[in-house]
Chain A
Amino acid sequence: MAITILPPQAVSTGTYEIAAGPKQALFDDDSDTEMTDDMPRAAKRAKIGPKAIVTPGESITEDSQWMRGHGTFNTNTSSAILATVAGTVQRTNKLLSVRPLRARYTPEIGDLVVGRIVEVQTKRWKVDLSAPLLAQLPLSAINLPGGILRRRTTTDELQIRTFFSEGDLLIAEVQSIHSDGTASLHTRSLKYGKLRNGVFLSVSGTGGGGGVVRSRRQVWTLSTGNGGGEIDVVLGVNGYIWIAKHVVSEIDAASASITRLEENVSNTVYSSQNDDILPQTRREIARLAGCIRALVENGVRVDEEMVTRAYEASLELDSDEMVDHEGNEGGEWLGADRGERVVAAALAASRA
Chain B
Amino acid sequence: MTDRRRVNGPTGGTTPVVFDPELVKNFAASVSKPIRTRAARELRKIFLQTGLTPSASGSAYFEVEQHPSHSHGLARSSTLKITCTVHGPRPLPRSSSFTPNMLLTTTVKFAPFAASQRRGYIRDNAERDLAVHLETAIRGVIMNDRWPKSGLDVVITILEGEDDSWWDTGLSTMSSGGQTPFGMMSILSGCITAASTAIVDAGIDCVDIVTGGVAALVKKSELATGNSNLELVLDPCPSEHDEIVACCVVGYLKARDELTEVWMRGDVSLTPQVGVGGQSEVDSLINGAVQAASAYHAVIVSSIKK
Contact = CB atoms under 8 A, between A and B. Distances in A.
B65 interface: no
B51 A102 contact: yes
A82 B207 contact: yes
Interface string A57-73: 11100000000000101
Given A101-B203, A179-B91, A56 B209 contact: yes
**Majority DSSP secondary structure for residues of B touching A:** loop
A85 interface: yes
B255 A53 contact: no
Contact of B200 (A55, A59, A132, A133): A55
B206 A56 contact: yes
Contact of B208 (A56, A101, A132, A179): A56
Given A73-B143, A179-B91, A181-B90, A85 B206 contact: yes
A103 interface: yes
A85 B91 contact: no
A102 B53 CA distance: 13
A73 B203 contact: no
A210 interface: no
Contacts of B301: 55
Nearest to A100: B203
A82 B208 CA distance: 9
Contacts of B138: none
Interface size class of B (residues with CB under 8 A): 20 to 34
A179 B304 contact: no
A57 B254 contact: yes
B186 to A, nearest CB: 24
Nearest to A84: B205
Interface in B171-215: 200-201, 203-209
B55 interface: yes
B40 interface: no
Contacts of A199: none
**Majority DSSP secondary structure for residues of A touching B:** loop
B80 interface: no
A135 B200 CA distance: 26
Nearest to A99: B203
Contacts of A100: 203
Contact of A86 (B94, B143, B200): B200
Contacts of B256: 57
Contacts of A87: 203
Interface in B30-54: 51
Contacts of B203: 85-87, 100-103
B207 A55 contact: no
B205 A71 contact: yes
Given A73-B205, A85-B203, A104 B57 contact: yes
Interface string B93-104: 110000000000
Interface string A67-101: 00001010000000010111100000000000011
Interface in A94-152: 100-104, 132-133
Interface string B291-306: 0000000001100110
A181 B88 CA distance: 10
Contact of A85 (B90, B93, B205, B255): B205
13 contacts: A56-B200, A56-B207, A57-B208, A57-B253, A57-B254, A57-B256, A59-B255, A73-B143, A84-B206, A85-B203, A101-B203, A102-B51, A181-B90
